[in-house]
């Protein structure tokens, strides 16, 4: 596996490349052209400039998260094929720059949903959190307003102000689109892009829905083992793969995370490893990566990745805000650095036990 950290770019991220380079075992970043809108073409010279900046910082681009899929593609509107054509050209330009993994999602309207960005824990740290009762009590058009004051002056992925200004229009767009139709639309998209993925060996890694159930009545299709295996079978190409995010699949306590990893052997191209602490099945907060701080057995999750031969990029995911840091919620430096070293330690211990035949 290749340990990485997500980085949003100089103009958007509070964390610097030189800081990431000093985290033991981290040699690459997962990044993006954050100023690009979904459906827009990424030019090769823009990608090259980003790549040169990362390499000048002593790191490499291990993958892109995300080349966002437009609502025209997800909802199959009149601009779908035009946006798919731009996506294909973008993938071609990434391939020409020797970038071979793209994480993306197919969630309608909200890329992810949390009801708090700074829930205070007993140790004084703050974390992202979700309570179903809070979602049930709020108008979806006011969702952004309810959390925007906790963004610490940053622009959070999937919650860009210009996008949130169109929430009402977006809900109208998805009227009449159920899970079957959304699944049909993702299969159409994947079949269209597989030729360029095969040509340039670009592994598409779909991120699960977060949380793993319908929010505001919107359809969810990438939320459990049955559904993700259905997608792998529908487009049975190794380049159609998965981002295994323990924190997103893990929002449903019905998901057996190590079992899912084993069921997806050979199709996991990217991994987000993080922990959650549940107060109730629909009230959870994000925890430190350490197993004992949350609900998941992180050793068993990493062990399943190791034993299925996972060799792609991996990253610690949402971290706590600790030690007075002010940053994009979930994406500060300190707790993610702790997470990276913890996951590296687990991997080393598992690897050595296997080498010794234990």
The phi and psi torsions of 84 (rounded to 5 degrees) equal -65, -40
Whether residue 239 lies in the annotated active site:
no
| Catalytic choice (8, 87, 200, 331) | 331
| Catalytic choice (100, 269, 289, 318) | 318
| Catalytic choice (83, 100, 207, 239) | 207
Whether residue 197 lies in the annotated active site:
no
Structure tokens at 318: 């949402």
| Catalytic choice (83, 100, 269, 272) | 272
63 strand-pairing partners: 30
Cα–Cα dist 241/262, whole Å: 14
Cα–Cα dist 157/175, whole Å: 24
Whether residue 245 lies in the annotated active site:
yes
Whether residue 269 lies in the annotated active site:
no
Among the listed residues 113, 105, 112, 78, the one whose alpha carbon sits nearest the alpha carbon of residue 231: 105
**131-139 long-range CB contacts below 8 Å, 24 or more apart?**
131/282, 131/283, 132/282, 132/283, 133/282, 133/283, 135/215, 135/216
Give residues with Cβ within 8 angstroms of 172, minimum separation 6: none
Whether residue 27 lies in the annotated active site:
no
Among the listed residues 130, 159, 129, the one whose alpha carbon sits nearest the alpha carbon of residue 145: 159
Cβ 299 vs Cβ 353: under 8 Å: no
Strands 28-31, 60-65: pairing is parallel
Q: Which helix (H) or strand (E) holds 335?
A: helix 334-355
Whether residue 272 lies in the annotated active site:
yes
Handedness of CA 251, 252, 257, 261 (dihedral sign): negative
Cα–Cα dist 263/83, whole Å: 32
| Catalytic choice (8, 245, 249, 342) | 245
Structure tokens at 23: 């985290």
| Catalytic choice (317, 334, 335, 342) | 317
Enzyme catalytic residues: 207, 245, 272, 317-318, 331
């Amino acid at each position: 596996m290749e340990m990485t950290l997500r980085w949003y770019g100089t103009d958007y991220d509070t964390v610097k490349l030189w800081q990431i380079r000093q985290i033991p075992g981290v040699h690459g970043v997962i990044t993006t052209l954050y100023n690009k809108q979904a459906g827009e073409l990424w030019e090769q010279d823009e990608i090259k400039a980003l790549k040169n900046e990362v390499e000048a910082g002593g790191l490499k681009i291990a993958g892109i998260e995300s080349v966002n899929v437009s609502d025209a593609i997800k909802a199959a509107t009149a601009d779908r094929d035009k946006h798919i054509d731009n996506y294909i050209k973008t993938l071609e330009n990434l391939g020409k720059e020797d970038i071979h993994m793209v994480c993306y999602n197919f969630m309608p309207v909200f890329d992810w949903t949390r009801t708090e960005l700074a829930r205070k824990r007993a140790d004084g740290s703050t974390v992202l959190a979700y309570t179903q009762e809070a979602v049930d009590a709020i108008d979806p058009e006011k969702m952004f307003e309810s959390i925007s004051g906790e963004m610490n002056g940053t622009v959070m992925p999937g919650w860009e102000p210009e996008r949130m200004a169109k929430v009402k229009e977006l809900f109208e767009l998805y009227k009449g689109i159920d899970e079957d139709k959304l699944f049909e639309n993702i299969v159409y998209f994947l079949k269209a892009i597989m030729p360029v993925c095969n040509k340039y060996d670009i592994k598409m890694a779909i991120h699960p829905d977060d949380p793993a159930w319908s929010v505001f009545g919107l359809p969810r299709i990438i939320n459990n083992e049955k559904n993700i295996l259905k997608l792998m079978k529908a487009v049975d190409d190794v380049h159609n793969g998965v981002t295994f995010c323990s924190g997103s699949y893990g929002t449903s306590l019905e998901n057996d995370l190590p079992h899912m990893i084993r069921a997806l052997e050979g199709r996991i191209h990217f991994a987000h490893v993080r922990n959650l602490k549940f107060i109730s099945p629909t009230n959870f907060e994000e925890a430190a990566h350490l197993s004992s701080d949350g609900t998941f057995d992180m050793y068993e999750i990493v062990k399943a990745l190791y034993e299925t031969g996972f060799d792609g990029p991996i990253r610690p995911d949402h971290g706590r805000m600790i030690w007075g840091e002010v940053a994009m919620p979930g994406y500060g430096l300190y707790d993610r650095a702790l997470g990276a070293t913890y996951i590296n330690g687990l991997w080393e211990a598992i690897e050595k036990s296997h080498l010794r035949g234990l």
